[in-house]
């Protein structure tokens, strides 16, 4: 795959994305159906418009399926686990921040 961000455009066609990953456009459409994280917008004519975030999601799927040779089901589970794990980390960080804020308040009242 060529460097996907050497292009400074904001939006990309499905043909552009397929070239970035050296795959057919049909594979991009297939992955879009199989992986909810790939969700390009469509214009009024139904033409897919991919953002850099979409391309990052495709890059993740490409890496799991083509490079690591995972099954589609295995890749879906890995993505779901990573997403859940990220949310869990966020919750822990948020809870710790709340505890810190409370401790600072208590410390300030003791002064």
94 and 42 in one domain? no
Instruction: Examine the pLDDT at 87 and tell me if it is beyond 60.
Output: no
Checking if the pLDDT of 52 tops 50, the result is yes
Q: Find the mean pLDDT for residues 75-83.
A: 88
How many helices (H) and strands (E) are present in the chain, helices listed first? 4, 2
Q: Report the Cα 94 to chain-centroid distance in Å.
A: 22
Specify the range with the lowest mean pLDDT, choosing from 4-8, 56-60, 93-97, 103-107.
Answer: 4-8
Whole-angstrom Cα distance, residue 48 to residue 59?
17
Answer yes or no: do 93 and 82 share one domain. yes
Tell which residue, 57, 19, 18, has the closest CA to residue 40. Answer: 57
Which residues does 83 contact at the CB level (< 8 Å), separation at least 6?
37
Query: Does this model's pTM top 0.85?
Result: no
Cβ 62 vs Cβ 21: under 8 Å: yes
Share of the chain above pLDDT 90, in %: 61
**Is pLDDT larger for residue 9 or for residue 90?**
9
Domain count, the chain: 2
Question: Considering only CA atoms, which of 52, 42, 46, 79 is closest in space to residue 63?
Answer: 79
Confidence check: pLDDT of 4 > 70: no
Which residue range is the domain that position 99 belongs to?
71-111
């Amino acid at each position: 795959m060529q460097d996907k961000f050497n292009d400074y455009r904001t939006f990309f066609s499905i043909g552009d994305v397929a070239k970035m990953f050296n795959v057919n456009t049909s594979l991009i459409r297939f992955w879009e159906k199989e992986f909810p994280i790939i969700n390009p917008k469509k214009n009024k004519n139904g033409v897919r418009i991919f953002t850099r975030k979409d391309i990052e999601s495709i890059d993740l799927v490409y890496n799991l399926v083509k490079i690591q040779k995972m099954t589609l089901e295995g890749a879906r589970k890995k993505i779901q686990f990573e997403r859940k794990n990220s949310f869990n980390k966020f919750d822990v960080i948020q809870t710790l921040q709340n505890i810190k804020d409370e401790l600072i308040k208590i410390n300030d009242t003791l002064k």
